[in-house]
Amino acid sequence: GIVTRPRLALVAGGVAGYWLAASSSCSFAVLSSIAVAFVAYALAGGWRYLRAAVLTFPRDFRAARCLLGTLGALRRMTRLRLGIVQLFAETVAKQPEAVCFRYEDEVWTFRRVDEYSNRVANLLLETGHSPGQVVALFAESRPEFACLWLGMAKAGVVAALINYNLRAQSLVHCLRAAEASSMLFGAELAPAVKEVAASLAEMRLYRFGDGHGVEESLDGVNDFDKMLAGASGQMAPGQQFRPDSTKDRLFFIYTSGTTGLPKAAVISHHRFAMMANTVGIILNIGPSDSVYDCLPLYHTAGGILGVGQAFLRGATVVIRRKFSASAFWEDCVKYNCTVAQYIGELCRYLLAQPSRPSDQGHRLRLMFGNGLRPQIWREFQRRFGVKQMAEFYGATESNCNLINLDNTVGAVGFLSVIAPWAYPLKLVKVDQDTGEPLRHPSTGLCQLAGVGEPGELVGSIVRGDLLRDIDGYVSKAATEKKVLRNVLRQGDAYFSTGDVLCMDELGYVYFLDRTGDTFRWKGENVSTAEVEASISSVLHLADCTVYGVELPGIEGRAGMAAIVAEPAAAASPEDLLDCLTRDLPGRLPAYARPLFIRFVSRIESTGTFKMMKTELRRDGARPDRCSGDPLFYLDCRSGRYLPLDESAWAAIQRGDIRF
């Protein structure tokens, strides 16, 4: 790589220089050795390492200071056995009347959040919930969402944060995966709960909130707001649950990872603090900041990196129920925000809005998030006057986290060239067809990707280490599937992210693609297995495969399904499309429904379809590459699938047809 051969040259040159000057004085011999070694080092390519070291030292030094700050906070937390409840109590004690949350016209001080969450904890204990039990939380974003899981934590109850877009089978799957005994749901989601009520017969149901105009009656449901009014808002510190270990479970967040159906990833007290504090320390977020959080609170980004800035760092967090491109900058001005969160699609939507005075009438100094396309990075900063875009990479369940400190366009973070051992993440070569790591024939160990080469990001797992350990999933079997063994030496273990990145000579890392059985669309991870199962169920077909395809100028990958249509079958492709149009909305959230359909004569049934998926991905949705197979696209206005020909594809490329 950058370092190994030049270092060998450095040693060899030093020996040669010493031998040449051996007959002279000792000091001359030493100086000659150094000079010859340096020349040999430079000629062997060492100048690249020296250049990289000089250019990246300020970046690495800043990161090292921040890393030490995070480690110090985690060590204190571990030594004193402090959970998130105790850390939040420290924040409340410092600034009880400061604003914790703002939502529409509501103002929630830290004292109000504390008292509300105390009521939640007292009520849960009074109704027979005990430490360790799991309660699902299914609601749209609002301050109560964060207060509810905080109250659960005060009672020792583990929250399962459910994606509010889920419906039918997907919703039931997530509830069962967490083994939830009760569910708290927002009144606005009552229709979704009613749809699966028969599958939740043994689960206690609690409804809260005004429903935002949604009226839906549901039998056997408890009115949580009414019950909460009678609960005490006081709770002595000794009554609040204190975890036996900071590695105890705080809540679950669902992730598709890169294999199979959505899985419940464990967020421990330690992991929440590590993620929130790392972002807060590196980006210097504190009590003087107001953070605009328009991302879903069931996600890591909105629910941990956003809410955590209030609970642990004392900042004010402005919560919005759902993102609005037209209201974004007006909100930032209205609430005097200094920091905002984003995902890539959000930035593109903002650029598509007509110019307004508020575009640069705000006080934002920083935006942080992921998925910002390099092609619009500078344009976004120029138009909206945001000085720093802190792009990051992170997988909820992993030990692999990166962040861009210095506005390097396109980079999701960096790995140190000077001290690669300090944060042991690696890029290993993968087979492009199977997604499996490439291994040396003789040793069986993984092959490291070089500068500019694509490789899967993996992170060294060290049990008990504050930064390198993993919490994994609720399912131990699912966790084990994500562990890659014998990577650099026999017996080692690394977390497999399933994401392909590449690194330049300065250590900056760039996201390329996802391997495995998920793709990312509209800021959500989509499980191909889940979509395939839904399509097969709707169409009563065994053979279909789902994958993500790239669209020009759009972040992520759009869902596409290849479906076997038997020539002699009674149902025509049009009949099958009608079934999908009618039945898929009740089974899958909008972001998971395939935007493109390709009817094929057969799908290879050997292996896991990965080879076939690779070819299908390469074809994409382009009519000229799909061998004359019937193609259709989802017209978002009518909700129906329409023929995809060259004319329609050209309209998609121009942006006339949007998704």
Burial (CB count <10 Å: 0-12, 13-18, 19+), residue 99: buried
Q: Are residues 461 and 527 both part of a single domain?
A: no
Closest CA to 305 of 272, 335, 262, 268: 272
State mean pLDDT over 462-484. Answer: 89
Within 8 A by CB and 6+ apart from 405, the residues are 59, 62, 63, 282, 390, 414
For residues 594 and 616, state if they share a domain: yes
Give the 3-state secondary structure of residue 124: helix
Q: How confident is the model at residue 467 (pLDDT cuts 50, 70, 90)?
A: confident
pLDDT, one tens digit per residue, over 567-588 is 656 678 888 999 999 999 888 8
Check whether residue 456 and residue 484 sit in a common domain.
Answer: yes
- In this predicted structure, what is the pLDDT of residue 492? 96
Q: Is 486 exposed, middle or buried (0-12, 13-18, 19+ CB in 10 A)?
A: middle
Q: Which pairing describes strands 596-600 and 631-635: parallel, antiparallel, or unpaired?
A: antiparallel
Q: How far apart are CA 176 and CA 169, in angstroms?
A: 10
Do residues 543 and 643 both lie within one domain? yes
CATH code, 469: 2.30.38.10
Domain end residue (candidates: 510, 543, 562): 510
Characterize the bridge pairing of strands 290-293 and 316-319: parallel
Q: Is the pLDDT of residue 43 over 60?
A: yes
Of 124, 329, 145, the closest CA to residue 251 belongs to 145
Query: Which domain CATH number covers 632?
Result: 3.30.300.30
**Pair 389, 343: CB distance under 8 Å:** no
| pLDDT computed for residue 607 by the predictor | 38
The β-bridge partners of 597 are 561, 632
**pLDDT at site 18:** 47
For residue 633, give the 3-state DSSP assignment.
strand
List, for residues 189-246, the tens digit of each pLDDT value. Answer: 999 999 999 999 889 999 999 877 677 778 889 999 999 999 999 998 888 999 999 9
Distance CA 438, CA 38 (A): 35
Contact assessment for residue 581 and residue 522, using Cβ atoms and an 8 Å cutoff: no
Residue 286 lies in a domain: no
Identify which has the larger pLDDT, 46 or 89: 89
Higher pLDDT, 509 or 31: 509
Mean pLDDT score of the chain: 89
pLDDT value at 609 more than 60: no
Q: Are residues 439 and 532 in the same domain?
A: no
CA distance linking residue 298 with residue 284, whole number of Å:
24
**Rounded distance, CA 472 to CA 399, Å?**
9
Among residues of the chain, what percentage have pLDDT more than 90? 66
Residue 512 confidence class, pLDDT cut points 50, 70, 90:
confident
Residues 493 and 579 in one domain: no
In a domain, 579, yes or no: yes
Helices 374-384 & 344-351 angle (0-180, nearest 10):
50
Q: Mean of the pLDDT values across residues 529-548?
A: 83
Cα 635 to Cα 649: distance, rounded to the nearest angstrom: 12
Q: Kindly state the percentage of the chain with pLDDT values over 70.
A: 90
Q: Is residue 103 part of a domain?
A: no
Q: Per-residue DSSP letters for 500-517?
A: EEEE-TT-EEEEEEE-TT
Structure tokens at 75: 């060590």
- Domain ends where: 476, 510, 544? 510
Assess whether 428 and 555 both reside in one domain: no
**Is 451 a member of any domain?**
yes
Looking at the predicted structure, is the pLDDT value of residue 9 above 70? no
Query: pLDDT tens digits for 118-141?
Result: 999 999 999 999 999 999 999 999
pLDDT grade for 610, boundaries at 50, 70 and 90: very low
> Binning pLDDT at 50, 70 and 90, where does residue 260 land?
low
Residue 413 CB contacts under 8 Å (≥ 6 apart), including other chains: 391, 392, 393, 401, 402, 403, 404, 508, 509
Residue 565's pLDDT band (cuts 50, 70, 90): confident
Q: Is position 469 within any domain? A: yes
Both tokens of 502, joined, read 């590449």
Q: Give yes or no: residues 625 and 545 share one domain.
A: yes
Q: How many CB atoms lie within 10 A of CB 443?
A: 12
pLDDT score at 279: 96
Q: Are residues 497 and 534 in the same domain?
A: no
Q: Are residues 586 and 605 in the same domain?
A: yes
Tokens 């051992």 found at: 421
Of 510, 542, 568, the residue at which a domain comes to its end is 510
* 490 in the same domain as 415: yes
State yes or no: pLDDT of 5 exceeds 60: no
Same domain as 645, residue 537: yes
Q: Give the rounded distance of the alpha carbon of 149 from its chain centre.
A: 20
Phi, psi (degrees; rounded to nearest 5) at 521: -145, 135
Q: Tell me which of 589 and 144 has the higher pLDDT.
A: 144
Tell me the sheet residues that pair with 182: 135, 204
pLDDT digits (tens, 9 = 90+) for 265-286: 999 999 999 999 999 999 999 9
Instruction: Tell me what pLDDT residue 47 has.
Output: 74
Tokens of 109: 């001080």
| 446 domain-assigned | yes
pLDDT per position as a tens digit, 316-354: 999 999 999 999 999 999 999 999 999 878 998 999 899
pLDDT at residue 257, rounded to an integer: 47
* Domain total in the chain: 3
Quick check: 354 and 328 in contact, CB under 8 A? Answer: no
Residue at 135 is within a domain: no
pLDDT digits (tens, 9 = 90+) for 229-239: 999 999 988 88
Confirm whether 484 is domain-assigned: yes
* Residue 462: domain span: 399-510
Query: CB of 193 within 8 A of CB of 218?
Result: yes
Q: What is the pLDDT of residue 462?
A: 92
pLDDT digits (tens, 9 = 90+) for 342-389: 987 899 899 989 999 999 999 999 999 998 988 899 999 999 999 999
pLDDT at 172: 92
Q: What is the pLDDT of residue 611?
A: 42
